[in-house]
């Protein structure tokens, strides 16, 4: 029998290229340092083409990262998937787009767009919004309203005015006697609308009140709102700006009402699911929506294929098959997956190829540890100790052949922009690794350590003036892949590897045959 394998994903922990705000190096990490010095190790590409994104200027993220880790292949993802659909014309010939436009034309109603306003290419791209606005006008839609979520996370922390100006210019270009386009509402992505994993429904409720009902503080323009709210909230970055409504003569310019059409133009699923539920589910009980408008709603993608959420979507998702979980299930091997709420979906849904259901109820066990509902810079250790406790119990049970876990600290604390807190978060992960190594030694388990993308490794950047500023986005840096086994001597072949090379390496450790469509093993 092959030895059990434990794969640890240190979310958001990469190798810095700039040394700017490198919380990974600044942290006291004796365990990680020792592993990198004494064990077989390589650096994996975790962005751009290695995870199916359009170019190497595109930073990776946890979703596409775990897709690649879990399936051993590279699929077109996110922006690239949408780009291909727009370029081929498939998006505008889709049934969903046709329904959205036809609804507006038949009822003389408004086409609303809700989404993250940036070119970060992680959740959305402003170019997709511009393209859809142009196409809507071309097809005869008379009125459009845009509900903007401010980024400052996947792009520079206070860059919102750049994107607002671009949108205002695009609307001015399109507006004429036959078309009326305006920004209607907005707010920071970590304040409204874009919660994930049902961690804070209050965010989504606030977004619903802002976008749909037009309730909230009114401003004459989005730029006025941003400037005023920044002055009133000293030091606040875009992602944390309070919600706002654009008004004229005391009335909101873009409430969402019955017979309107609504497009959620984010392509990444985790922070799109809850607002989609609020629009799509008739039996919704997570907050009081009031009188729900009867609208034609669609997402850029279907964010959860098993839940069929949303029912309408503009771009078909990649059909990921031949995942690592399927290969292990076919071989009769038991699997265990655990993380806290913030990354639970990544070691389950995304790992299994965007599927909510298990491939085998008997052979797959999932465990979610509830995350704290606080800003993660206040508790940067997060649930690292609890995750470690749980993995140790799973190893000691001797039930599982393959165990995977995710420590979210490097990513979630890194996104807060607090360098000091992120250093503590990275150190908490290192403590977990030290404890896991001891149990792996005792129970004869092979330990693999990797990450899904960088973040904590680059928390400062220089602006155009050469001044240092806080960076809250993921990095373009490579991530580690380490093999630790006190009994078996492994060696990693020379080569340029990415996250998709991990699954074939795991399969080879088990003595199994990888599907022909997979990338090569590193051993």
Whose structure tokens read 């977990």? 432
What does residue 115 show for φ and ψ, rounded to 5 degrees?
Answer: 175, 175
Q: What is the dihedral of CA 234, 156, 414, 405, to 10 degrees?
A: 140
Task: From the candidates 16, 62, 261, 475, give the one annotated as an active-site residue.
Answer: 62
SS3 of residue 197 by DSSP: coil
DSSP, residue by residue, 299-315: EEE-SBTTTTBSS-EEE
Residues in the chain, overall count: 523
CA-CA distances (angstroms) from residue 303 to 42, 190, 193, 217? 33, 19, 15, 31
Beta strands 5-10 and 446-450: pairing type? Answer: parallel
Number of Cβ within 10 Å of residue 89's Cβ equals 9
256 DSSP 8-state letter? -
Cα 267 to Cα 58, 78, 317, 419: the distances in Å are 14, 6, 10, 29
Give the span between the Cα atoms of 194 and 273, in whole angstroms: 9
40 Cβ contact partners less than 8 Å away, ≥ 6 residues apart:
482, 483, 490, 491, 492, 523
Neighbours of 429 (CB within 10 A): 31
Active site residue 62: yes
CA distance 214 to 206: 11
Rounded to the nearest angstrom, the gap between the alpha carbon of residue 307 and the centroid of all alpha carbons in its chain is 18
Catalogue the active-site residues.
62
């Amino acid at each position: 029998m092959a030895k059990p394998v434990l794969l640890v994903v240190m979310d958001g922990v990469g190798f810095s290229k700039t040394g700017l705000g490198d919380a990974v190096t600044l942290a006291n990490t004796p365990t990680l340092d020792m592993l990198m010095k004494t064990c077989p190790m390589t650096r994996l590409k975790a962005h751009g083409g290695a995870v199916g994104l359009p170019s190497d200027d595109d930073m990776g993220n946890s979703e596409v990262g775990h897709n690649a880790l879990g399936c051993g292949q590279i699929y077109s993802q996110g922006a690239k998937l949408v780009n291909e659909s727009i370029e081929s014309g498939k998006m505008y010939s889709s049934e969903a787009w046709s329904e959205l436009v036809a609804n507006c034309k038949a009822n003389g109603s408004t086409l609303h767009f809700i989404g993250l306003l940036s070119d970060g290419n992680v959740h959305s791209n402003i170019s997709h919004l511009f393209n859809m606005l142009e196409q809507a006008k071309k097809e005869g839609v008379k009125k459009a309203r845009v509900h903007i979520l401010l980024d400052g996370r996947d792009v520079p922390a206070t860059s919102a005015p750049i994107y607002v100006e671009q949108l205002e210019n695009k609307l001015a270009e399109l507006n004429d006697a036959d078309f009326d386009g305006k920004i209607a509402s907005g707010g920071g992505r970590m304040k409204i609308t874009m919660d994930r994993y049902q961690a804070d429904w209050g965010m989504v409720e606030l977004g619903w009140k802002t976008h749909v009902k037009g309730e909230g503080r009114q401003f004459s323009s989005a730029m006025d709102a941003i400037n005023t709210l920044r002055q009133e909230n000293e030091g606040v970055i875009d992602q944390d700006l309070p919600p706002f409504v654009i008004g004229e003569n005391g009335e909101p310019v873009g409430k969402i009402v019955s017979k309107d059409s609504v497009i959620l133009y984010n392509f990444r699923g985790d922070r799109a699911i809850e607002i989609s539920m609020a629009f799509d589910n008739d039996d919704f009980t997570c907050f009081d929506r009031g009188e729900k408008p009867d609208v034609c709603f669609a997402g850029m993608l279907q964010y959860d294929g098993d839940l069929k959420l949303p029912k309408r979507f503009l771009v078909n998702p990649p059909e990921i098959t031949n995942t690592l979980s399927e290969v292990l299930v076919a071989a009769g091997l038991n699997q265990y997956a655990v993380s806290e709420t913030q990354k639970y979906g990544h070691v389950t849904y995304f790992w299994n190829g965007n599927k909510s259901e298990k491939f085998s109820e008997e052979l797959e066990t999932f465990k979610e540890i509830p995350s704290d509902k606080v800003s993660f810079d206040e508790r940067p250790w997060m649930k690292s100790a609890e995750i470690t406790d749980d993995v140790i119990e799973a190893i000691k049970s001797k039930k599982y052949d393959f165990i995977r876990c995710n420590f979210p600290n490097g990513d979630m604390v890194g996104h807060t922009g607090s360098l000091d807190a992120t250093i503590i978060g990275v150190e908490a992960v290192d403590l977990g690794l030290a404890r896991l190594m001891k149990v792996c030694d005792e129970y004869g388990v092979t330990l693999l350590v990797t990450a899904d993308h960088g973040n904590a490794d680059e928390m400062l950047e220089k602006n155009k003036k050469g001044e240092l500023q806080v960076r809250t986005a993921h990095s373009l840096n490579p991530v580690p892949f380490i093999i630790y086994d006190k009994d078996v001597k492994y060696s990693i072949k020379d080569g340029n590897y990415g996250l998709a090379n991990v699954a074939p390496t795991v399969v080879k450790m088990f003595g199994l045959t990888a599907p022909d469509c997979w990338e090569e093993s590193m051993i």
